[in-house]
């Protein structure tokens, strides 16, 4: 008999056709204000889509009187978010605050009270999926989070529903608009990383503290969510290997262009087959070289693109604006309609299902290819010495390119596929050679 990872709650009956769904909106920033506006302006349409009116009955903000909030009746505003989510007239809680600890308390309080939840909070879902799913199952509430991955691009729904009858093998993509904007600007203009980041900040693509974006943490949260859904295995944020783009230089971009590649920050989730025949799951985020002819290389500015490879459906591509108030609000409202329909008519959305419970593979088990840019002594025998390091570990070289300098030479090698742990050991050995003055960059290939 097949069982879920958590106990199944009975399906609750709906309130009935025409009944009102009371909504608590937590947060009124860029996304929250847009969600509120669209619910008001398109109230009739939402009533028809849901089967009853959707009424915002409270808006939780940090300080009620600290700034004007046009269009919101003052009697809807409250700084008591915990009290709001447990009110009897609230059926559905929409969380668009961000962060982990405080939203976690609110979402768990709502779910434990039997209130369905829609959240756009990727960090929360990636870090606390286990307890959120358990709380939802215990009370029969819905937990929706489409907006947590790539905003309006329907990735979560695709994995939860559209490909529910298929076996997903691999997901790869650009899921962070800030880093894609920076890398695209560096490639298009020749700008340094610092200059491109400054421009992204000026235009509003980067936060005042861009760490979560540029160090890959935002993308890693999304990778954890996608891997969990795709492989029916709980993958947490801490399971995701994470490397950002802050070390990428204009020279790296130029070298990639000369070799026919673009550099993109990719989130990659894949099913691995081990030598003993067992399967495991790996999720990782890191800069990668993407061939110019691949559609991913042409993804510009702050846009996102996600490729899914599955057993029956084959290769699928999803493309669009993966961030911003309007696209994120669109995804949130799509979830609001789904959750509200269940509240009116009864039934539940697909919940967490981690039946496969595959082991999490270490990053060292992943097979990849390296593009290595080195500065070496310009003398006879150096190439042979460098090639010997790869040969001793049974790693073959795909291409070798040398550019002569005044006293040293630039040597760029691209490997064939090998285990990550082997290639990392090779890099350590190269750095120890007297003839290798510096290993300027090591960038993985995506093919």
State how far the Cα of 331 lies from the Cα of 335, in Å rounded to an integer. 6
Q: Pairing mode, if any, of strands 279-291 and 261-273?
A: antiparallel
**436: number of Cβ within 10 Å:** 20
Q: In what helix (H) or strand (E) does residue 272 lie, and over which residues does it extend?
A: strand 261-273
State how far the Cα of 139 lies from the Cα of 113, in Å rounded to an integer. 7
Tell me which of 15, 222, 264, 369 is the catalytic residue: 222
CB-side neighbour CA atoms (13 Å) of 409: 17
Which are the contacts of 262, defined by CB distance < 8 A and separation ≥ 6?
183, 187, 256, 289, 290, 292, 297
- DSSP string covering 58-110: EEE-S-TTSS--TTS-GGGEES-HHHHHT-TT--EEEE---SSHHHHHHHHHH
Q: In what helix (H) or strand (E) does residue 143 lie, and over which residues does it extend?
A: strand 143-144
* Cα maximum dimension of the chain: 84
Phi-psi region of 109 (alpha: psi -120 to 50; beta: other; left: phi over 0): alpha
Q: Is 254 helix (H, G, I), strand (E, B) or coil?
A: helix
CA 404 → CA 103, 113, 228, 376, distances in Å? 57, 70, 48, 10
Q: Is position 115 annotated as part of the catalytic site? A: no
> What six digits make up the tokens of 307?
């490729």
State how far the Cα of 134 lies from the Cα of 363, in Å rounded to an integer. 29
Q: Which residues participate in catalysis according to the annotation? A: 222
């Amino acid at each position: 008999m097949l069982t879920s990872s958590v106990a199944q709650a009975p399906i609750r009956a709906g309130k009935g056709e025409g009944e009102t769904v009371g909504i608590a909106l937590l947060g009124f920033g860029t996304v929250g204000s847009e969600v509120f506006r669209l619910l008001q302006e398109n109230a009739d349409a939402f009533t028809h889509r849901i089967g009853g009116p959707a009424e915002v009955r409270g808006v939780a903000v940090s300080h009620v009187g600290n700034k004007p909030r046009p269009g919101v009746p003052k009697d809807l505003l409250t700084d008591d978010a915990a009290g709001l989510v447990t009110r009897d007239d609230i059926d559905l809680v929409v969380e668009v605050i961000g962060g982990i600890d405080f939203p976690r308390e609110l979402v768990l309080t709502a779910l434990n009270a039997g209130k369905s939840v829609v959240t756009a909070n990727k960090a929360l879902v990636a870090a606390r999926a286990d307890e959120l799913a358990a709380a939802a199952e215990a009370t029969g509430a819905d937990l929706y989070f489409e907006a947590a991955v790539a905003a309006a691009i329907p990735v979560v729904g695709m994995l939860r529903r559209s490909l529910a009858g298929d076996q997903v093998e691999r997901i790869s993509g650009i899921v962070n608009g800030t880093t894609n904007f920076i890398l695209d600007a560096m490639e298009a203009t020749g700008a340094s990383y610092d200059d491109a980041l400054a421009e992204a900040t000026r235009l509003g693509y980067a936060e005042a503290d861009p760490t979560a974006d540029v160090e890959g943490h935002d993308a890693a949260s999304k990778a954890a969510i996608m891997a969990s859904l795709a492989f029916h295995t709980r993958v947490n944020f801490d399971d995701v290997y994470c490397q950002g783009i802050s070390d990428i230089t204009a020279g790296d971009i130029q070298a990639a262009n000369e070799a026919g590649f673009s550099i993109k920050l990719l989130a990659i989730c894949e099913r691995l087959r081990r030598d003993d025949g067992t399967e495991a799951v790996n999720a990782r985020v890191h800069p990668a070289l993407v061939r110019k002819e691949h559609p991913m290389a042409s993804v510009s500015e702050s846009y996102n693109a996600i490729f899914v490879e599955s057993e029956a459906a084959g290769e699928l591509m999803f493309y669009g604006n993966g961030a911003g108030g309007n696209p994120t609000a669109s995804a949130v409202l799509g979830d609001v309609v789904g959750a509200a329909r269940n509240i009116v008519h009864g039934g539940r959305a697909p919940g967490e299902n981690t039946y496969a419970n595959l082991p999490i593979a270490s990053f060292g088990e992943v097979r990849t290819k390296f593009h290595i840019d080195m500065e070496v002594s310009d003398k006879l025998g150096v190439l042979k010495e460098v090639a010997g390091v790869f040969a001793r570990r049974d790693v073959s070289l795909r291409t070798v390119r040398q550019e002569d300098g005044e006293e040293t030479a630039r040597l760029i090698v691209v490997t064939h596929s090998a285990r990550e742990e082997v290639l990392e050991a090779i890099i350590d050995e190269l750095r120890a050679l007297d003839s290798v003055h510096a290993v300027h960059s090591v960038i993985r290939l995506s093919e």
